[in-house]
Amino acid sequence: MYETNPKKLQEAYYATAYQLGGHGKRNVQVLKQAFEEMDGQLDSDQYGAGELIENFQDKIAAFLGKESAVFFPSGTMAQQIALRIWCDQRGLKKVAYHPLSHLEIHEEDGLKELHGIQPILLANRDRLIRLDDVQNMPEEVACLLLELPQREIGGQLPAFSELEEISAYCRQRGIKLHLDGARLFEILPFYQKTAAEICQLFDSVYVSFYKGIGGIAGAILAGEKAFTETSKVWKRRHGGDLISLYPYFLSANYYFDLRRDKFAQYYAEARELANYYQQCPGVTTRPAVPVSNMFHVHIRLPKATLEPVLLSVYEQTGIGFTHYLREVDETNCYFEVSIGDNYARIPKEAIKTAFELLAEKLGEVVS
């Protein structure tokens, strides 16, 4: 039997001439490009102060339509802190979020271990949080966190009207609403709204600069001035108030300017690419029609059957589909696709040919 080998698939993927997803490799060149034309005489920020960091924070605050913004080394730090502030303000250490929230599955329970905050999980692992989940919360909470799009279920979104209803309900009940906007830039084309129009539904907002924007790392937390000022105290407590954060926020600023207007393109390309996948035997995408630059590709095959198929298509076509496969169960696997600059660099004909070959080869093994 075929032995799967994650390293082999990854190497084969990066050996292809073209990869369907992403902006390109996360390598040192990402930093070098951002700083190539930068004036070396610009002064470093110093523990969150200085013209460069303040300018960037002001710029993103304005983009988000918020009074104030603070740059953080990570979203993990920014979001725990946001929830802590809202819990302290309410005097209640309970928040609500989705069972597949980043805080629940990727942060080693930092929220519980460092802040003693108990999460109430709304909805379930297969679907979005709906208005009635919020209306029927089993317990009182200080804050509700919504992740737009809900990444772990393929990047799904509620209708904007439902967001408005959830926001209105929370305001009426004194529940703070926090936006996990790790991929906020990515959903603007679907909603046909500005970031500010979406963010005005929320009391606090986190955005990331290394997903669609393609920076190195870092995040912004935005809200009213009193909120962001308190967040700076917690940032220091967490050990995130570094003497110099400029390697991150200056590159974030560089790639924000480079890509802020490209998300409609990524969104259109994601729909095109999802459509290619759907024409292959045994393949579905989640969501069926993407609502951002991302979606999940589910394939009705064991990993050990699918992996050699992909390897041979990569080799024959020079097109890389994914660098990894995750098993759902013994007969299903999936992977995530996020469209970036790479997709537009590939000749249309090459994509078409690669999918024809993939469809043919899958047809031979899918029952």
Residues contributing to the site for a second copy (CB under 8 A): 25-33, 35, 38-44, 46, 72-78, 80, 107-110, 113-115, 210, 216-217, 233-234, 236-248, 250
Shortest distance, CB of residue 42 to a second copy, whole angstroms? Answer: 5
Beta carbon nearer to a second copy, 38 or 226 = 38
Decide: helix, strand or coil at residue 346: coil
Nearest distance in Å: CB 115, a second copy: 7
Cβ closest to a second copy, residue 62 vs residue 92: 92
> Residues near 157 by Cβ (< 8 Å), separated by ≥ 6?
128, 148, 149, 150, 187, 190, 191, 291, 292
CA 165, 171, 175 angle in degrees (round to 5)?
110
Q: How far is the CB of 134 from a second copy (least distance, A)?
A: 27
Beta bridge partners of 297: 285, 335
Q: What are phi and psi of 339, to 5 degrees?
A: -80, 135
Rounded CA-CA distance 229/224 in Å is: 9
Q: How far apart are CA 304 and CA 311, in angstroms?
A: 11
Contacts of 308 (CB under 8 A, 6+ apart): 2
Which CB, 58 or 113, lies closer to a second copy? 113
Nearest partner of 182 among 155, 232, 215, 147, judged by Cα: 147
Closer Cβ to a second copy, 189 or 215, answer by number: 215
Residue whose CB is less far from a second copy, 247 or 318: 247
Query: CB-wise, 259 or 298, nearer to a second copy?
Result: 259
Strand ordering across the sheet containing 294-299: 283-286, 294-299, 332-338, 326-329
Beta carbon nearer to a second copy, 137 or 217: 217
The least CB distance from residue 351 to a second copy, in Å, is: 26
Nearer to a second copy, 28 or 159 (CB): 28
- Phi, psi (rounded to 5 degrees) for 154: 90, 0
Which residues, including other chains, have CB under 8 Å from residue 116's CB and lie 6 or more apart?
93
| Cα–Cα distances in angstroms (integers) from residue 62 to residues 66, 68, 138, 220, 223, in the given order | 6, 8, 36, 12, 11
